[in-house]
Structure 1
Amino acid sequence: MANFDASAAVTTVWQRQGVWSQVATAEKRRVVRARRTVAALTVGAAVAGSLATQLGDPHRTAGRCLAILAGAALLLVPVAARWTSRESVHAWTRLRSVSEALKADVHRYLAGVAPFAGADRDQVLLRRADTVLDDAGDLAARTLGVAPVARPLPDVRDVPSYLAARVRGQVAGYYAPMAERMGRLASRIRWAATAVTVASALLAATVGVLGDGLGLTAWLGVAATTTTALVGYGAAQQYEAQQIEFARTADQLTRLCLTRETGHGWTDDDAFVAEAERIISVCNEGWMAKMIEEDGAAQQ
């Protein structure tokens, strides 16, 4: 192990954390983009197919073009779905797990608490980072060619600054806003699915009363396909589950800080930082495990 001074040791680990964070973010975007593409292609194929059927003989050329478009969209669905496979989701969550583990150790190191309170804190930090990176060695190729982004170390010098920057900073800057964002996205999916379901019911009622002289029956299938695509996309993204997880973590961290600040507990520095990192880790592990579990169930 190289004998880095404190600044070089923590800077090295912080740079590696930045690289893994970049790769994890890129992998997440790829998965989310693929899920959106699958949903869009599925709905597009249903719409194009219905239009092709309705155009019929009077617009045979346009109908054929739409039929070809529908077929092409359906053929592209499994191609796009490759990026939403269980393996892709697992890779993304493992990349994020490495990033978060390195980030946690950097904050512990800067706060000066266990296991980084001794004279060998640099060696301990680098050994722990080596262990984390070795465990994810099969993903290391994904980080090749990714340059670390220039950024300062976290503004942590001791436990009070750790509480302000790491704990309260995470609550105000990440967990609370993300809980609100996940809630909004979940609500939009629910409203969109409800709107399509209501439209489908109105179509069915119209066909039942007036008959199918307008060719509305074909659009019932489109409505059903759209609803399924919306609900499936929302379920895959786990918006509601993530909202609950982020809100719960924000509440737990806030209560932890209040307990310490009011002198009613968690006065030991090592124990306080360990508990804060445990709460953050449980949140990360919880939504990542749920994402893999739901993704695997959807593909069975």
Structure 2
Amino acid sequence: MANFDASAAVTMVWQRQGVWSQAAEAEKRRVVRARRTVAGLTIGAAVAGSLATQLGDPHRTVSRCLAILAAAALLLVPVAARWTSRDSVHAWTRLRSVSEALKADVHCYLAGAAPFGGADRDQVLLRRADTLLDDAGDLIGRTVGVAPVDRPLPDIRDVPSYLAGRVRRQVAGYYAPMAQRTARLAARVRYAATAVTVASALLAATVGVLGDGLGLTAWLGVAATVTTALVGYAAAQQYEHQQIEYARTGDQLTRLCLTRESGHGWTDDDAFVAEAERIISLSNEGWMAKMIEEDGAAQQ
């Protein structure tokens, strides 16, 4: 292995981390966009099909157009669903896993923590990066064409700056905002599904009292389809699980920092850095495993 100096070695690994992070984000966008498309097409097909039935012969041309639109939407659902397959989700989570592992090694290296405390720290860093990238070699095609981002290394020089620049920053800049964001998204989907359910109940009550002279019965099926699509999308996105995971991880890291800063524990530098990275890694592995598990269950 070439004898890189510290700056060249860590800069190279940091650039590779940026490439894999971008590839993971691109794969995530494709999966999420496909999930939204599947939900939208399902709802659109139900609405268009019901309208086509309602309009009938008095508006034959419009009715036929809506029927064709509904059929086209249903035909496109399996096409869009290909991007939500287990393989796509697995690729996204593995890309993210490699990115996060490289990021952890860079931060530990800059802090001078184990296993990067010796004179061979450059070789150790590059060797670990080589192992990670070789193990994920089947995904390398997804990084082709992704240009490295010109960004500075994290401002970390020792363990105290690691605490501020890695752990505290991760809590304040990522876990806390993401916990709030996923909680809002979960609430929006939950409120939308509840609103549709209430509307469906009102429709059923209206039909029960006034009869079906207005043709409202057909819309009960539409409401059920919309509710199912919304709940299915929320389940796939794992908003509620992610909100709990983000909040829990942020709390664990905060308590870890407070314990060290108060002098009541975690005073050993290597042990502190290792514990912080363990908590972050478990959080990443937890949501990735849950995402794959739920995606597989949904496709059975």
TM-score range, shorter chain: over 0.9
Equivalent position of 2:186 in the other structure? 186
Aligned residues, how many? 300
1:292 maps to 292
Q: How does 1:60-79 map to 2 (within 5 A)?
A: 60-79=60-79
**One-letter code aligned to 1:14:** W
Which blocks of at least 5 consecutive residues in structure 1 are unaligned? none
List per-residue Cα deviations over 1:130-167 (Å, max 9, x = no partner).
00000100000111111101000001000000000100
CA shift, 1:121, in A, is 0.2
For residues 197-220 of structure 1, the C-alpha deviation after alignment (integer angstroms, 9 at most, x for no partner) is 000000000000000000101100
Q: Distance in 2 between matches of 1:43 and 1:234?
A: 15
Superposed, 1:219-234 pairs within 5 Å as: 219-234=219-234
Q: Distance in 2 between matches of 1:226 and 1:296?
A: 22
Counterparts of 1:11 and 1:257 in 2: how far apart (Å)? 27
Counterpart in the other structure of 1:217: 217
Percent of aligned positions with the same letter in both sequences? 89
Shift of 1:3: 1.0
> Within 1, Cα distance between the matches of 2:71 and 2:89?
28
CA–CA separation in structure 1 for the residues paired with 2:262 and 2:282 = 25
Over residues 17-66 of structure 1, what are the superposed CA-to-partner deviations in whole Å (9 max), with x where a residue is unaligned? 00000000000000000000000000000000000001011100100000
Structure 1 residue 55 corresponds to structure 2 residue 50: no
Segments ≥4 residues shifted beyond 2 Å: none
Aligned to 2:124: 124
Instruction: Give CA deviations for 1:176-208 in whole Å, capped at 9, x if unaligned.
Output: 110011101001111000000000000000000
Moved more, 8-17 or 138-147: 138-147
SS of aligned partner of 2:176: helix
Task: State the AA in 1 paired with 2:242.
Answer: Q
Which one-letter code corresponds to 1:108 in the other structure? C
Name the residue aligned to 1:202. Answer: 202
* Aligned residue number for residue 36 of structure 2: 36
**Equivalent residue number for residue 171 of structure 1:** 171
RMSD: 0.4
CA distance in 2, matches of 1:109, 1:164: 15
Q: Please give the alpha-carbon distance, in whole angstroms, between the structure 1 residues aligned to 2:217 and 2:146.
A: 52
Structure 1 residue 263 and structure 2 residue 257: aligned? no
Post-superposition CA distance 1:56-83 (Å, at most 9, x none): 1110010000000000000000000000
CA distance in 1, matches of 2:149, 2:223: 46
What is the CA distance between 1:2 and its match in structure 2?
A: 1.4
The one-letter code of the counterpart of 2:141 is A
Give the counterpart letter for 2:220 in structure 1: L
Unaligned runs of 5+ in 2: none
Letter in 2 for 1:38: V
* TM-score, length-scaled by structure 1: 1.00
Q: Does 1:104 align with 2:104?
A: yes
Q: Which residue of 2 aligns with 1:282?
A: 282
Partners of 1:176 and 1:2 in 2: CA distance: 41
Are 1:243 and 2:250 matched, yes or no? no
Is 1:273 matched with 2:273?
yes
CA offset at residue 236 of structure 1? 0.2
Q: Which letter maps to 1:124?
A: V
Q: Distance in 1 between matches of 2:178 and 2:64?
A: 46
What is the CA distance between 1:277 and its match in structure 2? 0.0
- Alpha-carbon distance in structure 2 between the residues aligned to 1:21 and 1:2: 25
Aligned equivalents of 1:145, 1:214: Cα separation in 2? 57
SS of equivalent residue, structure 2 residue 273: helix
Which has the larger displacement, 143-152 or 71-80? 143-152
Determine the C-alpha separation between the residues in 1 that align with 2:232 and 2:180: 21
Query: What is the alpha-carbon distance in structure 2 between the residues aligned to residue 165 and residue 193 of structure 1?
Result: 40
Distance 2:21 2:113 in 1: 24
